[in-house]
Amino acid sequence: MRAYYFDNAPGDQRLLHDSGTPVPADALRSLGVLSWHIPVDADDNYIQAIDQIARERDYKNRDTINITKEGLGDAYEAKLKMFFEEHMHEDEEIRYILDGSGFFDVREHPVDSWVRIHVEQGDLVVLPAGIYHRFTLDEKNIIKAMRLFKDEPKWTPLNRGSATDENPIRHDYLASVAAH
């Protein structure tokens, strides 16, 4: 996993958009973003490591999502646009990359800059509830990810706006960032 500031240049969202300024792991942690690298292996030994993290963080459910042009067909472009809209969730967003690669962009508070996180096979990333973020594939146009959930699987994006800014989960997130 590699993190850096998004360059804000126009162009395809699936390009690197690397400003050349890296973001260190401790800066991500100060935003509440956690990460691990757990290599995917043919013997499925990685499952034990994922299970351990799931127990420690109280994740009770999981599923797998495949995002490909072939798999999504006509809905592919619309789905990518939806994932790339700035939003937050009222629950953590947990993804373990089984194959392929993509980008999670998170808003750095309080400056509102985009931090781009390039995730690849074996990366596990946890975005805290209340953080504004977005997702896109990279130029490989494929990602297979395990999604983990604290409770029943749900994925409800709340697009950024005045109502979302007033959401109690957003306020809790901002308080946690201010405490760092």
Q: Does the annotation place 93 within a ligand binding site?
A: yes
d(CA 149, CA 54): 9
Q: Please state the separation of Cα 104 from the chain's center in Å.
A: 4
Q: 62 pairs with which residues across the strands?
A: 148
Q: Which residues, listed in sequence order, are joined to residue 133 by a DSSP beta bridge? A: 87, 106
Structure tokens at 29: 């942690």
Residue 89 assigned ligand-binding role: yes
Q: How many CB atoms lie within 10 A of CB 43?
A: 6
Q: Which helix (H) or strand (E) holds 177?
A: helix 168-179
As a whole number of angstroms, the distance between CA 66 and CA 47 comes to 18
Please report, in range form, the residues annotated as the binding site: 87, 89, 93, 133
Please report, in range form, the residues annotated as the binding site for Ni(2+): 87, 89, 93, 133
Please report, in range form, the residues annotated as the binding site for Fe(2+): 87, 89, 93, 133
